[in-house]
Structure 1
Amino acid sequence: MTKARDIMTGGAQCIGAEETVLDAARKMKDLGVGALPICGTDNKLKGVLTDRDVVVKVLGAGKDPASCPAGDLAQGEAVTIGADDDAEEILRTMTAHKVRRLPVIDGHDLVGMVALADVARSLPDPKVGDLVQALSTD
């Protein structure tokens, strides 16, 4: 069975919780990604910041991205997947939490990110349809 480490994009980089949303946006641009894990000063994962969060929760809300800490956008406990979890578990986790990207951890270390497209390439067609439907409805 395909494992998260087989389909993830490795080398994920965090944005510090104390860094600004503007810093995060620049880092996303430089890395060519649409999401960054948010890490606290204790190196623990606090959440995931997406490009949509930047637009809707910061710019759309009239906040200044240069003064808004990325950590302010971390909500609740971070949803992650283990590096040795299989594609079915990734599917269940994404569906249950209605997320399109998951940080991949090995022990307590961030080792990569797995996105909906990664999972879609590794699952049979009917399961992909189920995942897309689950993530596309409220």
Structure 2
Amino acid sequence: MTTAKEIMHPGAHWLTKSDNLERAAQMMRDLNIGALPVADENNNDRLCGIITDRDIVVKCVAEGRAPAECTAAELCEGTPRWVDANADIEEVLHEMEGHRIKRVPVVENKRVVGIISEADLAQHLTDDQIAEFAEMVYARR
């Protein structure tokens, strides 16, 4: 059984809810990543959400807002999705496909230990699994 921990990109850099989106964009550029988990300032282990590069463009810049004046908390919406480090690949796919998400944080002992992205999936799935994932996440409904 392949687990989330075995296929994830290990390590996670965080934003706090009060960090601005300019900082988020700079971190994404410097780390060459497209998403960052957002933590509660009072408890850096508590996942509050995830901010993507697309969120910054669509929900901030395209709305005429300045990234330096918009906080991560303003973009975090709803309950953050995540998977347990011991979840098998089918559970990971179920979570990602069911919520039509392309990245999912991996949590172990209530702490984010990594992230699974489409690139991670592509390295570990069969062609049929990749095709099903793409259809479920990208197909218009």
2:57 is aligned to 55
Contact conserved, 1:17 with 1:40, CA < 8 A, in 2? yes
1:35 is aligned to 35
The total of aligned residue pairs comes to: 138
What fraction of aligned residue pairs are identical, expressed as a percent? 36
Consecutive unaligned residues in structure 2, runs of 5 or more: none
Contact conserved, 1:8 with 1:118, CA < 8 A, in 2? yes
Is 1:45 the counterpart of 2:47? The answer is: yes
Letter of the 1:31 partner, please give it. L
Shift of the alpha carbon at 1:21? Answer: 0.5
2:13 is aligned to 13
SS class of match (2:69): coil
Q: Matched residues in 1 for 2:26 and 2:49: separation? A: 18
Contact conserved, 1:17 with 1:39, CA < 8 A, in 2? yes
2:130 is aligned to 128
Letter of the 1:113 partner, please give it. I
Report Cα offsets for 1:74-106 as digits up to 9, x if no partner: 110100011111111111000001000001100
Query: Structure 1 length normalisation: TM-score?
Result: 0.96
Consecutive unaligned residues in structure 1, runs of 5 or more: none
Q: Matched residues in 2 for 1:94 and 1:100: separation? A: 7
Q: Matched residues in 1 for 2:85 and 2:49: separation? A: 17
Q: Which runs of 4+ in 1 moved over 2 A?
A: none
2:89 is aligned to 87
Q: Matched residues in 2 for 1:132 and 1:89: separation? A: 16
RMSD over aligned Cα, in angstroms?
Answer: 0.9
1:25 is aligned to 25
